[in-house]
Amino acid sequence: MNISLLQIQNLIIGYGSKAIADKLSAVIPSGELICLLGSNGTGKSTLIRSICGFQPVLGGNVLIDKFDVHTLSERELSKQISVVLTDRVVVPNASVEELVGYGRSPYTGMLGRMNTDDKAIVLNAMIECGIVHKRDCLLTSLSDGERQKAFIAKALAQDTPLIILDEPTAFLDLPARVEIMQLLRNIANTSGKSILMSTHDLDLALQLSDRLWLLQNGGSLITGSPEDLLLRNAFQSMFQHKGIVFDNKTGLFKVKHTQSTQVAVKGHGFEYVLLRRALARKGISITKAYSYDSNRIEVINDSKNPFSIYLDDECIVSEESIEAFIKQVLLMQKLLVEKKRSCFLS
């Protein structure tokens, strides 16, 4: 059973006398990757900074190894928690190796001289973060993803039981976000360190984290494994906004399209799924085609032209491209409307 490394107890966070969230309680077990999620304005960054001891809390406790974070000296705290913030930190003329070396400052004394063990820790941190080949490069020459790896290596070199990151993937493209999240997942697995990170990447958090903290509007904090929170339908109300819906089965958001018409479709498989999605964007919903539906769409898998339109049981068009087929569907609907209108007038 994992030991609780950090605990927050009835925490009240905010600025001055104004509380943003209260009655926050949670634990961070050792060796876990935990993702903090929540809508903008719920107080994720404030909670991160309060846990790190960067700003005072309005009530409650933050305990690490049973010591209150806010009673520890800066040096003592730097041996318990290493931090990577969202802000783009500028370190003029520093190389990657020099930056990672700063992580050893809690142990090297006033002069900052590293011994053989310190240098080995710095080297191993760069290797583990996949940045050792850039050790002599200036930080200013790195890509955003490489720079983030360097700062994570610095946190790793600090050799604390807990690493906290505030939206470490905020400035990154999708491949880099996945790479950083996988790196943090591997660090938690191999080092036994705990990692708490705030993020907006719900899909990656659901796949890679051991535990989620969901900070809701109004201040309550829901915690649990991704699977347990899905079972509890914890995401629906939290991320419910006009025009989107959270799909519990896939763990993904879906756009709610306004649908004004429908077509009968016969088919299944990947082609069917893609066609349904394309039709939904045009405001067209799908119903199941029955044997008596003379006007219908058929999807035939593994065919050269898998998408066909039937009018009065006669195939009038077949297409390979969904884009071209959608144009034909819209034309068909227009023709059917005109046909009904002429029948009515006659």
Model confidence, pTM: 0.82
Q: Assess contact for 44 and 202: CB atoms under 8 A.
A: no
Find the helix or strand (DSSP H, E) in which 282 lies.
Answer: none
Contacts 24+ apart (CB under 8 A), 118-125: 121/157, 121/159, 122/97, 122/157, 125/100, 125/153, 125/154, 125/156, 125/157
Other residues' Cβ atoms within 10 Å of the Cβ of residue 7? 16
304-to-93, 271, 332 alpha-carbon distances in Å? 59, 12, 22
Which among 292, 296, 311, 309 is positioned nearest to 265, based on CA atoms? 296
CA distance 299 to 272: 6
Q: Assess contact for 35 and 42: CB atoms under 8 A.
A: no
- pLDDT by residue for the chain (346 residues), tens only, comes to 457 789 999 999 988 888 888 899 999 999 999 999 988 888 899 999 999 988 899 999 999 988 899 899 989 999 999 999 876 666 778 999 999 999 999 998 767 788 999 999 999 999 999 999 999 999 989 999 999 999 999 999 999 999 999 999 988 999 999 999 999 999 999 988 999 999 988 889 999 999 999 998 766 899 999 999 988 888 876 666 666 777 777 777 777 777 788 889 999 999 999 999 899 888 898 899 887 888 889 998 878 899 999 888 899 899 999 999 999 988 887 877 676 666 544 4
Return the domain boundaries, the chain. Answer: 4-240, 261-345
CA distance 83 to 163: 6
Say yes or no: domain 4-240 is CATH 3.60.10.10.
Answer: no
